[in-house]
Chains A and B, each alone.
Chain A
Amino acid sequence: MLAYANPRRFLRLARALTPWFLGAGVALTVVGLFLALFVAPPDYQQGDAARIMYVHVPAAWMALFVYACMAISSAVAFIWKHPLADIAAKASAPIGCVFTALALITGMLWGQPMWGAWWVWDARLTSVLILFFLYLGYIVLWGAIEEPTRAARAARILALVGAINIPIIHFSVEWWNTLHQGATVFRTDGPAISASMLAPLLVMAVAYNVLYVALLLIRMRMEVSQRRLRTIRLGLETAPA
């Protein structure tokens, strides 16, 4: 693991892996969308509106998962000073932010026909909206502090403090009365969903996870190059004329 702390070795590995993850992610998404739109049956209560689930639920899972990865990377950066840990956390933020926005928007498009409202201020929706603002705040924080080591320290603290929101989101449907339905897949008594709907959902979930890795590799390569560029420029500026 520590061998890849060396940015050059990381770059070599990342360059080799990017096309594979990108290709697999796109292929899995195409298969998942096909299964979701053509193969999965309409829901007996919600009809074809239930097909929104296949883009809503995986996006919501990713919103939580990417934040968890960001928080773990930030903790690793704090404890072991791993040079790539801050970069991984920073590179994850825009990806998690997009997944959270997608979960919110597709949720609104599902809420309107089913609940009769685009938005309700209940525990689940509000806590996910807070997650969205945590991502935005994290991105803004990196941009606001110019010196990278100070920016990294502030960003780590925000990511770790914000992590308290992750279990709150997960359990919000149990702790508070909410319009949002409870967990159907991650339950202690097993998934409460028919196999014909679970399969497309899982393919979409795997697709989104693979896409996350591909996007993460691309954005980490970007961050490593930008840091190298900064170091070179600083070196040139301070070099004796």
Chain B
Amino acid sequence: MSDWQTFFAMGGYAAYVWPAYAISVFALLALGLASWRQMKRSERLARMSETPDRQS
């Protein structure tokens, strides 16, 4: 087995180690992206409704 195959096999625990790492990265990335988008959207909406020309 090559070095990389040994690495990915995780001593026989690949089915547990890789999902644990994948879900951790995925969940934090998803939370970060969702939060960022929501933040940008509400900042834009707040700025739009604050501009005075909208009220005329």
Residues of A in contact with B (beta carbons under 8 Å apart): 22, 29, 33, 37, 42, 47-49, 51-52, 55-56, 59, 94-95, 98, 101-102, 105-106, 109-110, 112-113, 211, 214-215, 218-219, 221-222, 225-226, 228-229, 232-233, 236
Contacts and interface: CB of A to CB of B under 8 A. Distances in A.
| Overall SS of chain B's interface | helix
Given A47-B11, A48-B10, A222-B35, A101 B27 contact: yes
Interface in B14-28: 16-17, 19-21, 23-25, 27-28
A30 to B, nearest CB: 10
Contacts of B24: 55, 59, 102, 106
17 contacts: A47-B12, A48-B11, A49-B13, A94-B35, A95-B31, A98-B27, A98-B28, A102-B24, A112-B16, A113-B16, A218-B35, A219-B39, A221-B39, A222-B43, A228-B50, A232-B50, A236-B49
Contacts of B11: 42, 47-49
B24 to A, nearest CB: 4
Contact of B39 (A49, A113, A218): A218
A107 to B, nearest CB: 9
Contacts, number: 93
Given A98-B27, A106-B24, A225-B46, A51 B39 contact: no
Given A221-B39, A232-B49, A94 B16 contact: no
Nearest to B9: A48
A225 B36 CA distance: 13
Interface of B: 7, 10-13, 16-17, 19-21, 23-25, 27-28, 31-32, 35-36, 38-39, 42-43, 45-46, 49-50, 55
| Overall SS of chain A's interface | helix
Contacts of B27: 98, 101-102
B52 to A, nearest CB: 12
Given A49-B11, A222-B39, 8 more contacts: A42-B11, A48-B10, A48-B13, A52-B16, A102-B28, A110-B20, A225-B43, A225-B45
B17 A225 contact: no
A55 B10 CA distance: 15
